[in-house]
């Protein structure tokens, strides 16, 4: 059962990141389809979480829930992160290939699923006073994810600790730059389109 083996390996990465990410890069144990699967599973988990997390900690307006938003806030940032990280590390002597970055980031997301699902179940039976446990677990999931991402980046690019931290912070800055350029690009395209349309209108009305 290769699929079960993949799952077992991704769990191994989550608890033994140094070992796991090394194998991922140098033994080719990481699978792209597994990373994308984890990403999909995370999106699903987040959709479920928004809707079904216990009422005591659920501050979402039920009429404002939209699954497309989860795609926007998970898949899009994921791709942006990978893209920014790849563009940055090619300039900073990183050894990771784009595929490896995607796989690493994907595997690092696993704790979010591992903690969120029991947390959703738990949140349905806790009272307001116990809500801090829910928030604690939530924070732990995020910390674990950041930890894995850190180790993953370090291993994949063969960086030192300090360089990894700088790279990760710079990656965030690059994400911001990409978003800015994207918006600028779309804005300019919009201007051009409206200009061409105005010219067309002018001509057609005169003709």
| 52 contacts other proteins (rule: CB under 8 A) | no
Binder among 61, 68, 91, 207 for other proteins (CB under 8 A): 61
Q: Which stretch binds other proteins (CB under 8 A): 38-46, 54-62, 106-114, 133-141?
A: 54-62
Q: Which stretch binds other proteins (CB under 8 A): 15-23, 121-129, 133-141, 153-161?
A: 121-129
Question: What does 84-140 look like in DSSP terms, one character per residue?
Answer: HHHHHHHHTT----HHHHHHHHHHHTHHHHHHHHHHHHHHTT--GGGHHHHHHHHHH
Nearest CB to other proteins, comparing residues 36 and 131: 131
What burial class does residue 197 get, using C-beta atoms within 10 Å of its C-beta: 0-12 exposed, 13-18 middle, 19+ buried? Answer: exposed
| 122 contacts other proteins (rule: CB under 8 A) | no
Name residues contacting other proteins, limited to 165-204 (CB under 8 A): none
The least CB distance from residue 55 to other proteins, in Å, is 6
Name residues contacting other proteins, limited to 126-165 (CB under 8 A): 127-129
Cα end-to-end span (Å), the chain:
71
Structure tokens at 161: 């600790």
């Amino acid at each position: 059962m290769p699929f079960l083996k993949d799952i077992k390996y991704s769990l191994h990465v989550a608890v033994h990141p140094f070992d796991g990410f090394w194998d991922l890069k140098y033994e080719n144990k990481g699978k792209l389809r597994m990373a994308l699967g984890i990403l999909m599973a995370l999106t699903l988990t987040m959709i479920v979480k928004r809707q079904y997390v216990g009422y005591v900690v659920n501050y979402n307006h039920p009429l404002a829930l939209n699954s497309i938003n989860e795609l926007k806030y998970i898949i899009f940032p994921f791709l942006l992160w990978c893209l920014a990280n790849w563009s940055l590390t090619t300039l900073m002597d990183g050894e990771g290939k784009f595929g490896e970055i995607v796989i690493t980031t994907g595997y690092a997301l696993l704790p979010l699923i591992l903690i969120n699902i029991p947390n959703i179940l738990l949140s349905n039976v806790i009272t307001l006073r116990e809500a801090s446990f829910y928030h604690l677990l939530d924070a732990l999931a995020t910390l674990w994810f950041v930890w894995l991402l850190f180790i993953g980046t370090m291993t994949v690019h063969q960086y030192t600790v300090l360089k990894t931290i700088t790279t990760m912070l710079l990656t965030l800055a690059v994400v911001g730059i990409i978003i800015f350029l994207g918006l600028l690009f779309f804005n300019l395209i919009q201007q051009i389109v409206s200009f061409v349309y105005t010219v067309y209108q002018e001509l057609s009305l005169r003709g």
